Structure 1
Amino acid sequence: MTLYQGNTRKMRVSTNSDNIAQYALPIGDNQINMNALIGQSLKVNYGGEIHCIHCATKTKKSFNQGYCYRCLMKLAQCDTCIIKPELCHYEQGTCREPAWGEANCLSDHFVYLANTGTIKVGITRHVTDGVSSRWIDQGATQAIAIMRVQNRLTSGLVEMAFKEHIADKTNWRTMLKSQPEQVDLVALKESLLEQVEGDLDEIIEEYGFQAIDITDSPAIDIHYPVEQYPEKVKSINLDKDLAFEGTLLGIKGQYLMLDGDRVINMRKYSGYNLQIETA
């Protein structure tokens, strides 16, 4: 038996040489190799204490997956434009934290397609060795970068154009229930580019030819450490239940899958002080 205790963060993700998602759960000063626990028993207890993942202040309620209310209202990373990048207001001089905006919003972004059970469009700042951690966080089994754009605002405008033809949300219940059917993302990308050509031309006309660079990146497959998918998803709520235990059957997105069709979104409980006992 191994016992861990401390404030948690969203699971850190990567892929190995076979594009199998690798998960590490930060807790206190430790990181738990979650892939190594597949098939083993877990026991988790929540003592009712939460600390903001930014300022570490104790808070009665977590906002935006780990922040206290003060940080929710003052941090640029918690502003509405993070969820809706087309509302980026840095150029208007009203960014909450201009230095943060320069580092995170005025850099290149990628617009992508991902298969998360349904096909969706999205944006990400980083694609390392052909893979974005955001794709893993969303439980995508396939993904392809469509284009590189010059900043967050442009990525939002492009995403809005694609949203007229394809969804931009992940249905987490669908994502967790099974391995979705393969889709020809390259063909879909070409089809969608034809449909949004007029919108892209308008963006280029306003922001210049450097605003959009269509990539020729290949589609990639991502695999997840799942022994058994739930037949009927039952979400664990730590705020109500305070504790759970069971056998870890899989990990996908930021979710742990346990026996009894139970799942828990570990990102939701970032900042929670947990006690985790592993077999």
Structure 2
Amino acid sequence: MVYQGVLTKMQTEYSAPIQYYLVFKDDFINMNQLLDRNISISFVRYECLNCGLDKPIYRQGFCRSCFFDVPQAADWIIRPELSTAHLGKEDRDLEYEKKMQLQPHIVYLANSSSVKVGVTRKSQVPTRWIDQGAHEAIEIVEVPNRYLAGITEVALKEHVSDKTNWRTMLKNDIVDENLVDWRERLKEYIPDEAKAYFIANNSETNIEYPVQQYPEKPKSLNLGKTPNYQGVLKGLKGQYLIFEDQTVFNIRSNEGLVVNIEVK
């Protein structure tokens, strides 16, 4: 069977293990059902997630011109401390920014390759943790807007990482941590503006991924250099497909590419 569509990040369902879905315009694939199956991925063309044109993807699924224009790619997406909607100040589109920034946000600790701090909208818990390949996570602060979450993250990352090592995460070369203890150690560094939003009583969320074989030396598939690839699917973690030959394919970083996926 052959599927064709533009790649967007896999949708997930929190269960044990996580259920993964690759969603196209007129179809979807439950990726868990493809484990142990031989599948091929072939690059067809580009399709910018904003303008829909066949133009090389620059970042985040957008062509270069759209990336520097659409509010979905503004700096505050990556750096929430730059959010200004709470002040009524527009960056690219104030209505969109109010919708996205002026809602409850979570500052969290997640363990993907090591303990890291991050920010997400409350509505994206636990999806954000799953997308990062975290096997355990905990909320530490719940604030009413993105700006407060951003300044809290900036303060805490002086004392804990804000990055994930994707190779370590995929190799499953990880150590369980007591995230409640981490939360307690870090609370003194929360900015004064956010101290009242500290979450004092909660427990870790544990996440199980559908992986039959972890790669020892993961090698990333680049469809620009290798437009046709075939392999046996052995796992799904974060937004990665993991293959038997240790090839890994990051769906998220290939958003905006139209591909053929053939299941054999």
What is the TM-score when the length of structure 1 is the normalising length?
Answer: 0.90
Per the alignment, residue 83 of structure 1 pairs with: 78
Whether the aligned pair in 2 keeps the contact of 1:145 and 1:215 (CA below 8 Å) is no
Matched, 1:172 2:171: no
Whether the aligned pair in 2 keeps the contact of 1:124 and 1:132 (CA below 8 Å) is no
Whether the aligned pair in 2 keeps the contact of 1:5 and 1:274 (CA below 8 Å) is yes
Query: Aligned-pair distance for 1:179?
Result: 5.3
- Of the structure 1 ranges 178-187 and 75-84, higher mean CA displacement relative to structure 2 is found in 178-187
Deviations 1:106-147 (A, max 9, x none): 11100000000210000110357xx42010000000000111
Per the alignment, residue 38 of structure 1 pairs with: 35
| 2:57 aligned counterpart, secondary structure | coil
Aligned-pair Cα RMSD in Å: 1.6
Query: Aligned-pair distance for 1:263?
Result: 0.4
Gaps of 5+ in 1: none
Per the alignment, residue 212 of structure 2 pairs with: 227
Aligned partner (choices 24, 28, 31) of residue 27 of structure 1: 24
* Structure 1 runs of 4+ with >6 Å offset: none
Aligned partner (choices 66, 70, 92) of residue 71 of structure 1: 66
Deviations 1:68-122 (A, max 9, x none): 2222111122011111111123326232111111110111100000000210000
Aligned partner (choices 83, 90, 93) of residue 94 of structure 1: 90
Count of residues in correspondence between the two structures: 263
2:194 & 2:5 partners in 1: Cα distance? 49
Whether the aligned pair in 2 keeps the contact of 1:5 and 1:28 (CA below 8 Å) is no
What is the TM-score when the length of structure 2 is the normalising length?
Answer: 0.94
Query: Aligned-pair distance for 1:159?
Result: 0.3
1:264 & 1:143 partners in 2: Cα distance? 24
| 2:60 aligned counterpart, secondary structure | coil
Whether the aligned pair in 2 keeps the contact of 1:52 and 1:58 (CA below 8 Å) is yes
Q: Within 5 Å, give how 1:248-259 maps onto structure 2.
A: 248-259=233-244
Per the alignment, residue 264 of structure 1 pairs with: 249
Matched, 1:52 2:37: no
1:215 & 1:248 partners in 2: Cα distance? 41
1:127 & 1:102 partners in 2: Cα distance? 15
Report the AA paired with residue 172 of structure 2.
S
Report the AA paired with residue 235 of structure 1.
S
Report the AA paired with residue 3 of structure 1.
V
Query: Aligned-pair distance for 1:9?
Result: 1.2
Deviations 1:195-246 (A, max 9, x none): x1xx522x259xxx5xx34252210110000000001011110011101001
Are the structure 2 counterparts of residues 114 and 193 from structure 1 closer, same or farther at C-alpha, using a change threshold of 3 Å?
Answer: same
Whether the aligned pair in 1 keeps the contact of 2:60 and 2:73 (CA below 8 Å) is no
Aligned partner (choices 123, 128, 131) of residue 134 of structure 1: 128
Q: Within 5 Å, give how 1:138-149 maps onto structure 2.
A: 138-149=132-143
Query: Aligned-pair distance for 1:272?
Result: 1.0
